[in-house]
Structure 1
Amino acid sequence: MKIKEIIVVEGKSDTIAIQHAVDADTLETNGSEISEETLKRIEVAQKKRGVIIFTDPDYPGERIRKIVSARVPGCKHAFLPKQEAIARSGKGLGVEHASKLAIQQALSKVKEEMERDAELIPWQDLVDAGLIGGPKAKQRREKIGQKLNIGYMNGKQLYKRLRMFQITQEEFIDVMRSVLQEEKK
C-alpha cells in the first residue's frame, strides 16, 4: 500500500511501525511540544503532497492533532482504536505498538477535514442521544468514534469532529441506531 501524503507521527518508533506496514514518508513531531520549525515543515508538506495526521489515541496524541490541525488547514486524519494501540506488555499505548494490519486499516479509512459554515448536527442532538453526560455517554462516544472512524473523544471533541468531517444527520442517526441496537444485546 503506497501512501501519497506525508504522515505526521509523534516519533521514530511510529515511523518504523508505519514503514513496516505501508510505503509512506513520515514527518515526526518529536512529542507534543511541536517546534515552529516542525510546523513550517508540515505546512510545506501539506502544500506539496498533503498531510495525514496519525497520532497515538491518548491525550498527548490528541494535543498534537489539535495543534497541527489548527495551524495547517485541510489535513487528513487517521485514527487508531485504543485497543489496537496497546503494547503487548500492557505498558504503553501508541501507533508503534499497533499491528501492521491495524495500521493499514487506519490508513485506509482516512478522514478529511472540511470547513463548513452550516451546522450539520446540533449540540442538542448529542445531548438527546445520551452522548453528553449520562451513564453510557463515554461508551457510546467510543463506539461512535470506532464506527465513523473518527477516534475516541469527549463530548466537545465529538461535536467538533462531526462538523469537521461533515458527518451528516443521516449518517449520525444510522450509527446511533447501530450503537443502541448493540446495547440491547
Structure 2
Amino acid sequence: MRIQEIIVVEGKDDTTAIRRAVDADTIETNGSAVNQMTIEKVKRAQETRGVIIFTDPDYPGEKIRKTIAAEVPGCKHAFLPKEAAVAKSGRGVGVEHASPEAIIEALKDAQLMREDIAEEITPEDLITAGLVGGPGAKERRIHLGKLLKIGYTNGKQLHKRLMMFQVSKQEFVDALAAVRQEEARNG
C-alpha cells in the first residue's frame, strides 16, 4: 500500500515501523523540541504532497502533534491506540512498537482537523455523558476516542478534539451508546 502524503514521525525507529507496514516517505522530528528547519520541511511537504502527523500516543507525541498542527494548517492526523503501541517488554509506548496491521489501520483512518466549525457538542454534553470528571470518565474517553478514531484526550481537550474532527452530534451519541453498552457488558 502506497501512501501519497508524507508522514511526520518522531524518529528513525518510527520510520522503520512505518516502512514495514506501507510504502511511504517520512519526516522525522527527532524529539519534542521541533525546530524551525523541520517545520519548513513539513510546510513544503504539505504544499506538495500533503502531510499525515503520526506521533506516539503519549504526552511528548501530543506536544509534537500540536506544535506542527499550529505551524502547518491542513495536516491530516493518524492516531494509534495506546495498547497497540506498547513495547513487548511493557516498557515504552510508541509507533515503533506497533504491528504493521495497527499502523495500516491508523493511516486509513487519518483525518483532517478543522478549527472553524459549528459547535454541535457542548462541554455540558461531555459532563452529562460522564466523560469529564467522576469515576470511569477516563476509561470512557479512551473507548470513545477509539470508536471515533480521534485518539485519547484528557477531559479539557476532548471538546476541542471533537470539534476539530467535526464529530456530529449523532456520531457522538452513537459512539457514547456503544461505550455504555460495553460498560454494561463488563459490569
* TM-score between the two structures when normalised by the length of structure 1: 0.98
Q: Per the alignment, in what secondary structure is the counterpart of residue 3 of structure 2?
A: strand
Cα distance in 1, alignment partners of residues 72 and 121 from structure 2: 24
Count how many residue pairs are aligned between Structure 1 and Structure 2.
185
Cα distance in 1, alignment partners of residues 9 and 156 from structure 2: 24
Give the drift of 1:115: 3.1
- Residue 111 (structure 1) aligned with residue 97 (structure 2): no
Q: Match for 1:31: what amino acid? A: G
Write out the 4+ residue segments of structure 1 that deviate beyond 4 Å after TM superposition: none
Give the drift of 1:90: 1.0
Cα distance in 2, alignment partners of residues 28 and 70 from structure 1: 17
- Residue 69 (structure 1) aligned with residue 60 (structure 2): no
- State the partner residue of 1:14: 14
- State the partner residue of 1:139: 139
- Residue 126 (structure 1) aligned with residue 126 (structure 2): yes
CA contact 2:2–2:23 (8 Å) conserved in 1 = yes
Q: Per the alignment, in what secondary structure is the counterpart of residue 73 of structure 2?
A: coil
Give the drift of 1:34: 0.4
Give percent identity, aligned residues only.
60
Q: Give CA deviations for 1:27-47 in whole Å, capped at 9, x if unaligned.
A: 000010000110111111111
Q: Give CA deviations for 1:123-166 in whole Å, capped at 9, x if unaligned.
A: 11001101110101100000000001111110122111100010
Counting only pairs closer than 5 Å after superposition, residues 37-48 of structure 1 correspond to structure 2 as: 37-48=37-48
Q: Match for 2:162: what amino acid? A: L
- Residue 51 (structure 1) aligned with residue 51 (structure 2): yes
Cα distance in 1, alignment partners of residues 129 and 181 from structure 2: 13
Cα distance in 2, alignment partners of residues 115 and 50 from structure 1: 18
Cα RMSD (Å): 0.8
- State the partner residue of 2:79: 79
**Any stretches of 5+ residues in structure 2 without a counterpart?**
none
Cα distance in 2, alignment partners of residues 111 and 94 from structure 1: 20
- Residue 91 (structure 1) aligned with residue 99 (structure 2): no
Q: Give CA deviations for 1:62-110 in whole Å, capped at 9, x if unaligned.
A: 0000101111111100000011101111111100000111111111111
* TM-score between the two structures when normalised by the length of structure 2: 0.97
Cα distance in 2, alignment partners of residues 132 and 112 from structure 1: 25
Cα distance in 1, alignment partners of residues 124 and 95 from structure 2: 34
Cα distance in 2, alignment partners of residues 178 and 117 from structure 1: 25
CA contact 2:8–2:27 (8 Å) conserved in 1 = yes
Cα distance in 1, alignment partners of residues 158 and 75 from structure 2: 17
**Any stretches of 5+ residues in structure 1 without a counterpart?**
none
Q: Per the alignment, in what secondary structure is the counterpart of residue 24 of structure 1?
A: coil
Q: Per the alignment, in what secondary structure is the counterpart of residue 150 of structure 1?
A: coil
Give the drift of 1:112: 1.0
Cα distance in 1, alignment partners of residues 27 and 180 from structure 2: 39
